[in-house]
Every structure is written in C-alpha cells, then in structure tokens.
A and B are shown apart, each in its own frame.
Chain A
Amino acid sequence: MIDLVIIPLFKIAVVLNGVLVSVTFMVLLERKVIAWAQSRLGPMRVGPWGVLQAIVDPIKLILKEDITPTKADKWMFTLAPILSLVPALVVFSVVPFGGDALFYITDINVGLLFIISVTSIGVYGIILAGWASNSKYPLLASLRAAAQLISYEIAVTMTLVSVILTAGTLSMVGIVEAQQETGFWFGFVQPVAFVLVFIGGLAETNRIPFDLPEAEQELTGGFHTEYSGMRFALFFLAEYANMIVIAAVVTALFWGGWLRPFPSVDALFPSVGALSFLNLAFLDLIPSWVWFFGKMFVFLYLFIWIRATLPRYRYDQLMRIGWKVLIPIALANIVVTAVVKVWLL
C-alpha cells in the first residue's frame, strides 16, 4: 500500500509543487535576465534584489478581478486554461530528475511517446481559449497557434525518432542509461536532432522568435487577450511549465540527463598519462539531480537569452521553416541514423 499509493502520491505532490514554485521563480529569472540584457535592473522593490517578486506576482494575479466576457462561451472559457495547464503538468510524471527511482514518478516503456502525445493535447487549451473568447484577435491567434503547434509537433516527433533509433528504447530512463552505456551523450551523436528539437521546443512553447500566437504587438496578446486574473495566470503557468518540460526533455535526451559530465574521460584520453590528474571521479560526489537541474537551467537560460535577442518571425515564414526546413532535415536525419545504425555499427 505504501509503495503503491503513498510514495507515488508524495512524489507527485513534490513534483507539482516544485514545478509551480519554480515557474514563479522562472518568471522572476526571466525578468531579471532580460533586464540585465537590456542594461536595466529588473524588479528591485520586493525583498532583497526583488526576490520576493516571485511570490507577489502570483498573489497579484489571484487577487485580480476574473472577467468573463459577456458573449463568451462560459464553460469553454473556464475550461481552456485548465486544458492548457494540465498536460504541461502531466508530462512531468515521466521526466527522470535523477538516477535513482526516488527521483522520478514513474518510468513507463513508452515514456517519450507519452510526452509527445500529452504535449499534443495542450493545443486544445489555446484553440478553445481563442474560440470561447468570441473575439477576433484571440480567434486569429488560436488558428495560428493550432497550425503552428501541429506543424512543429510533426517536426519534433520526426526528429525524436532518430533519437529513439539511437537509444533503442522509448523509456526516458532507458534513454539516459543508453547514453551512460555508450559513454557519449546523444547531443554529440545527434547534434542536428538536438538543434531541431530545441527550435521545435521554442515553437511549441510559443517563445520568441516563434511567439506568434501571443504576439502582443500584432494580436494584442493573442489567444489570452480576453483573460484576466487567475485564468490568465493558468495560461502563464502552462507556458512556463512547458518551457521547463522542453528543457527537461532536451536534457534527458541529448545531454545525459542526470549523468555527470565527462562520463568517459578515460576513454577519451586512454594513453595520456599526463592527464591522469584529470581524475574526475570527484564529480560523482555531486548528486545526480543537481546535474539534471543544472543542465536544465542552462537551457532555460538559453530560452530567455533568445527572447531578449531575437525579433519575431512572420506567420508564413514560420510555417515555411517548419515544413520546408525542419521536417526535411528531420527525415534526412532519420535516414542517416538508420543507415549508420544498421550498416556501420
């Protein structure tokens, strides 16, 4: 009973709270990093260096008036943010935060497929939000969003096929373990796939330069134009939770998940005696989950950095990149991977 119910429930509670709290701090981090990029200070008023801003922001959102437009479809209008957030949170059930079974909720044999399929449900939140608002800007944005998410999902899924081919398993833990066995992280084996998944991830989380569904300057905020208060906060949470998901997936699939860096320094420098002082075993002292979160942080930082730097693509350019660049490269990558795997290894 304890093993079957209590411990999983406990883990779920920890992960959910962890994600939600880290989202609030993610927002603070983003504001701070972008501020530094723009030679500003960012939030400084609440707490030392504005650290407590992370707590004040959600409180503000909760206390705000929650408005439902008169002609909106009330049920759908309420359901949409929930539909948007829940898949983002469900995905965390198969993310391996550490090497030990203690650090992930579950490991299923279709883990990666599970992540892909659950994230694909997230699009409903956006479409329905646009439709239920009964307003033109959200509707345009949600049509954009639907097309964008489906297109990039295809590209990402295709790309992940080559990773699956390399790893030979669909289980998230299995993929990381495969990287441990070969000694090379898939980021080095499949650099093209990494870049594609990262770009696709930017598009799927609606981040600049692919943030068309919520392009403030064009569509006045996009699909959540009509939302306020807590329901808006849910969309906000969903976006950042999705960012964390992408960072976690990229970490696990390409950069060795919880593994420490330089897994095979001996294999790299077998005969160089002078490098023996490079005994990196001390890195093992650092717990596996620290490595995981450290790597994740790098990618989250990259997300923010990109947001501070790049302008936004246009809708047709976005679709062109998705269909005419990413998908062909992903297909070619699958073919190359299969050929190498079958005949050359």
Chain B
Amino acid sequence: MAIEAAPMFDTDELVLNMGPQHPSTHGVLRVILRLNGERVVDADVVIGYIHRGIEKLTENRDWTQIILLTDRMDYVSAATSNLGYCETVEKLMEVEVPRRARYIRTILAELQRVASHCLWLGTHAMDIGAMTVFMYAFRERELILDLFEEYCGARLTYNCMRIGGLPLDIPTGWGRKVRAFCDVMDSRIPEYEELLTNNRIWLERTRGIGVISGEAATALGLCGPPLRGSGVYRDVRKDEPYAAYDEFEFDVPLGTNGDTYDRYLIRLEEFRQSLRIIRQAVDGMPDGPVMGKVPRLIKPKAGETYHAIESPKGELGYFIVSDGRSTNPYRLRVRPPSFCNLQGLKPLIIGHLVADVVALIGTIDVVIGEVDR
C-alpha cells in the first residue's frame, strides 16, 4: 500500500480509506483515496477481501461439482457463470448440445442479464441518491427471480446448467410467463427513463464523468458495457456466437462519449435488446431433448481450451486444462469481467470528486465475488 506509507507532505491532502466496509463499494472493495479537498489526487484499489480460492477449489472437485462453485463467483448473475463454464467443458469434450437446450440457455442467460442490469441500475441510481429507482428495479428483478425459481427451484445460486445441456426441461407454461414478463418489463423501462434519463441532476452527475476513450478502454482491457460505452464494438455474442445467439437478431448499442451517462444508456438499451432476444427464443423454441449425449463419468481428454461468453458485466472467459487422467480439472482459470473492468477504476476516478468515485464504482458494475473469486 504505497499510499499509506507515503508521508502527508501537503497539509491539504487527506488520505481517506473507502471500504472494505462502505455502503457504496458494492461488497468489500477497498479504495484508498488521497484527497486534495474533495478531489481525488491518487487512488489505490485493494481487492481480495472475499477471496475464496474458487479456482484452486476446482482442482479437487469433479467436473459437475464445479458448476456449483461458478454460481458463487458473480452471485447476481449465476446463470451466465454456469453457462460459460459448461460451454467451455463442452468445447473441451466436443459434446453437441441439443438445440432446445441452447435456446433455453439463451433465454436463461438473457433473463439473467436483465436481472443483473436491474440490480446495477438500482444500486447505481441509489449511489447517486435516487432511491426510488432502486425499488423499481428490484421489483422487476423479483419477477425474474420468480421465473428462475419456477425453472430450477433456486433464486440466487441456480446451478441450472449441466455439461451437455440442462438438468430440466422448462415447466409447462413457463414460456408464456416469460413472454408476459417481457411485456411487463417493456412497460417498466420507460419508468426508469422518466426518473433518470432526462433528469437534470442525473445528467449533471453522469455526463462527462469518468470519460474514457475507446483506445484507453481497449488498452486497459475493459469489456462489456464500459468498453461499448466508449464506442468500441465488441460483444462476444456477435463476435464469437455461442448458445443460440447466431439464430437471433439483436443490436449491440454503442456509446459515443465514453462517460457514465453513455454507459447508463447502453445498459438501458441492453434491457430492450435482451427482451428482443428472449421473445425470439420463446417463439421459436424447438422441440427435442435438453440433454446431449454425455458419458456418465465426465473425463475430458487431455488438452486445454479457452471459451468466453458475454456475461452482463462483460467478457467472461474460462481457461481449462485437463490432464485427461483425473476426474477434475488440472487447472481452471477464470477471466472475470469485473476484475478486468476494475482495472479501469483508478484512471477513471483520478481528478474527480469523492461523490464521483461512488458513481464510477457503480458505473463499471463490479461484483466483488467475481473479482476475488
């Protein structure tokens, strides 16, 4: 902690320790700020407070048990973590996943994206002081959790995918309920927009705050909405389609200014695009099995592979090495989008005020469970 050790040479400077216990660091992120008045001169982002060694744990679990561990990484978006892991192992084993399973996976992943963005919108608005948006967004997230509960019985850590397909087919009438949810959500997005998009205070708090250029964002390795907010076209769903994304039509929203407001607009647009995908998937749902032909004992042949999906936070990649002998991975490494996006926090916050730090932690949408693993 270089900042702590440094002497306070200027009397106007104040070292402020934000977190790990702080209402707005979204978990146990710790940011050490050096302030001049209220302006951030220097910052140090400290992570690791809920490091649980998930990557190491996987080396002692068999391949199916690991799905359960992936739930605990990005705990507000468990389905996409499941999806990424399962697809990586399937790629390693060269298993064919039935089309129906891929459709359902897509629906689950997009519902999860909407749920995760709801949580992001609520907390982000809450950080900037708009408390009602929080409740509105959670109201809709609740509907999604109900859908998940009906599908797999869990509300947060779903464990809802299996290598080679899905553990369960969708319940009867579930598709209709998803359609109904899409209609509800469509009518609710204008409510958020009404409260925020043209709100003068919201504009003043987000426009021109945390501007990052496309080149800088690429150089920092940002991904997901923070990268697209700077106008860089990168979406794994389009670039390297997985699940059933190649069969659906959707747009990838791009920002122009790369500021907090653009990132906000992009996520709002992603709500709409996700709903568009869900509708297409529900309407075109094929019949058939939901589980592919997978050996009873999962034991991929020796080799290594990397596979990425677009989680709500950005590019979620898994790199897996199998030695082909044991029933657990030799090495599993996650490329978590939150961790990579957190790299952008320090350059973003320097020069801004304390209040903006909170807004910027919100705008890059980190889940510390995924950062620390």
Chain A positions within 8 Å of B, measured between CB atoms, are 34, 37-40, 136-137, 140, 144, 208-209, 211-212, 215-220, 307-317
Which chain B residue shows the least CB distance to A219?
Answer: B354
- A-chain residues with CB within 8 Å of residue B24 when the two chains form the complex: 217-218
Of B59-67, B129-137, B157-165, which stretch is located at the interface? B129-137
Taking the closest CB of chain B, its distance from the CB of A338, in whole angstroms, is: 31
Kindly identify, within residues 315 to 373 of chain B, every residue whose CB is under 8 Å from any CB belonging to chain A: 353-358
- B-chain residues with CB within 8 Å of residue A316 when the two chains form the complex: 38, 353
B195 at the interface (CB under 8 A from A): yes
B23 at the interface (CB under 8 A from A): yes
CA distance A137 to B356 in the complex (A): 16
**B22 with A220: CB separation less than 8 A:** yes
Taking the closest CB of chain A, its distance from the CB of B113, in whole angstroms, is: 23
**B127 with A140: CB separation less than 8 A:** no
Taking the closest CB of chain B, its distance from the CB of A31, in whole angstroms, is: 12
Given A40-B135, A218-B358, 20 additional A-B pairs, CB 8 A = A34-B131, A38-B134, A136-B16, A137-B16, A140-B354, A209-B129, A216-B23, A217-B24, A217-B127, A217-B128, A218-B24, A218-B357, A308-B131, A310-B130, A310-B199, A312-B128, A312-B129, A315-B353, A315-B355, A316-B353
**B135 with A39: CB separation less than 8 A:** yes
Which chain A residue shows the least CB distance to B128?
Answer: A311
- A-chain residues with CB within 8 Å of residue B358 when the two chains form the complex: 217-218
- B-chain residues with CB within 8 Å of residue A312 when the two chains form the complex: 128-130, 201, 205, 355
B139 at the interface (CB under 8 A from A): yes
Chain B positions within 8 Å of A, measured between CB atoms, are 14, 16-17, 22-24, 38, 125-132, 134-136, 139, 195-196, 199, 201-202, 204-205, 353-358
Taking the closest CB of chain A, its distance from the CB of B206, in whole angstroms, is: 9
Taking the closest CB of chain A, its distance from the CB of B361, in whole angstroms, is: 10
**B23 with A220: CB separation less than 8 A:** yes
CA distance A212 to B205 in the complex (A): 13
CA distance A314 to B139 in the complex (A): 28
**Can you list 23 contacts pairing A with B, beta carbon distance less than 8 Å?**
A34-B131, A37-B132, A38-B131, A38-B136, A140-B14, A140-B16, A140-B38, A208-B131, A209-B201, A217-B129, A218-B354, A218-B357, A220-B23, A309-B132, A309-B195, A310-B130, A310-B199, A311-B199, A312-B201, A313-B201, A313-B205, A314-B204, A315-B38
Which chain B residue shows the least CB distance to A318?
Answer: B355
**B132 with A215: CB separation less than 8 A:** no
- B-chain residues with CB within 8 Å of residue A137 when the two chains form the complex: 16
Which chain A residue shows the least CB distance to B361?
Answer: A217
**A218 with B355: CB separation less than 8 A:** yes
In order of increasing CB-CB distance, the 4 nearest A-B pairs are: A312-B129, A38-B135, A311-B130, A311-B129
**A311 with B23: CB separation less than 8 A:** no
CA distance A218 to B14 in the complex (A): 16
Taking the closest CB of chain B, its distance from the CB of A271, in whole angstroms, is: 44
- B-chain residues with CB within 8 Å of residue A317 when the two chains form the complex: 204-205
- B-chain residues with CB within 8 Å of residue A310 when the two chains form the complex: 129-130, 199, 201
Taking the closest CB of chain B, its distance from the CB of A210, in whole angstroms, is: 10
- A-chain residues with CB within 8 Å of residue B195 when the two chains form the complex: 309
CA distance A103 to B196 in the complex (A): 44
- A-chain residues with CB within 8 Å of residue B126 when the two chains form the complex: 217
Complex partner residue of A308 from B16, B132, B196, CB under 8 angstroms = B132
CA distance A317 to B359 in the complex (A): 15
Name the residue among A39, A140, A218, A313 with the largest chain B CB count within 10 angstroms. A218
- B-chain residues with CB within 8 Å of residue A307 when the two chains form the complex: 131
- A-chain residues with CB within 8 Å of residue B139 when the two chains form the complex: 39
**A215 with B355: CB separation less than 8 A:** yes
Taking the closest CB of chain A, its distance from the CB of B198, in whole angstroms, is: 12
- B-chain residues with CB within 8 Å of residue A144 when the two chains form the complex: 38
Which chain A residue shows the least CB distance to B133?
Answer: A311
- B-chain residues with CB within 8 Å of residue A314 when the two chains form the complex: 204-205, 353, 355-356
Name the residue among B22, B130, B354, B355 with the largest chain A CB count within 10 angstroms. B355
- B-chain residues with CB within 8 Å of residue A315 when the two chains form the complex: 38, 353-355
Taking the closest CB of chain B, its distance from the CB of A242, in whole angstroms, is: 19
- A-chain residues with CB within 8 Å of residue B355 when the two chains form the complex: 212, 215, 218, 312, 314-315
- A-chain residues with CB within 8 Å of residue B353 when the two chains form the complex: 314-316
- B-chain residues with CB within 8 Å of residue A313 when the two chains form the complex: 201, 204-205
Taking the closest CB of chain A, its distance from the CB of B283, in whole angstroms, is: 30
Complex partner residue of A311 from B16, B38, B202, B356, CB under 8 angstroms = B202
- A-chain residues with CB within 8 Å of residue B16 when the two chains form the complex: 136-137, 140
CA distance A295 to B152 in the complex (A): 54
CA distance A9 to B125 in the complex (A): 48
- A-chain residues with CB within 8 Å of residue B38 when the two chains form the complex: 140, 144, 315-316
- B-chain residues with CB within 8 Å of residue A309 when the two chains form the complex: 130, 132, 195
Complex partner residue of B14 from A38, A40, A136, A211, CB under 8 angstroms = A136
**B132 with A38: CB separation less than 8 A:** yes
- A-chain residues with CB within 8 Å of residue B205 when the two chains form the complex: 311-314, 317
Which chain B residue shows the least CB distance to A308?
Answer: B132
- A-chain residues with CB within 8 Å of residue B14 when the two chains form the complex: 136, 140
- A-chain residues with CB within 8 Å of residue B204 when the two chains form the complex: 313-314, 317
CA distance A144 to B354 in the complex (A): 12
**B136 with A39: CB separation less than 8 A:** yes
CA distance A307 to B16 in the complex (A): 28
CA distance A307 to B131 in the complex (A): 8
Taking the closest CB of chain A, its distance from the CB of B345, in whole angstroms, is: 16
Which chain B residue shows the least CB distance to A212?
Answer: B355
Which chain B residue shows the least CB distance to A38?
Answer: B135
Complex partner residue of B23 from A37, A136, A208, A217, CB under 8 angstroms = A217
Which chain A residue shows the least CB distance to B134?
Answer: A38
CA distance A68 to B266 in the complex (A): 46
Taking the closest CB of chain A, its distance from the CB of B142, in whole angstroms, is: 11
CA distance A209 to B24 in the complex (A): 18
- B-chain residues with CB within 8 Å of residue A37 when the two chains form the complex: 132
Complex partner residue of A215 from B129, B199, B201, B202, CB under 8 angstroms = B129
Which chain B residue shows the least CB distance to A309?
Answer: B132
Which chain B residue shows the least CB distance to A310?
Answer: B201
- A-chain residues with CB within 8 Å of residue B356 when the two chains form the complex: 314
CA distance A235 to B136 in the complex (A): 30
- A-chain residues with CB within 8 Å of residue B129 when the two chains form the complex: 208-209, 211, 215, 217, 310-312
CA distance A315 to B358 in the complex (A): 13
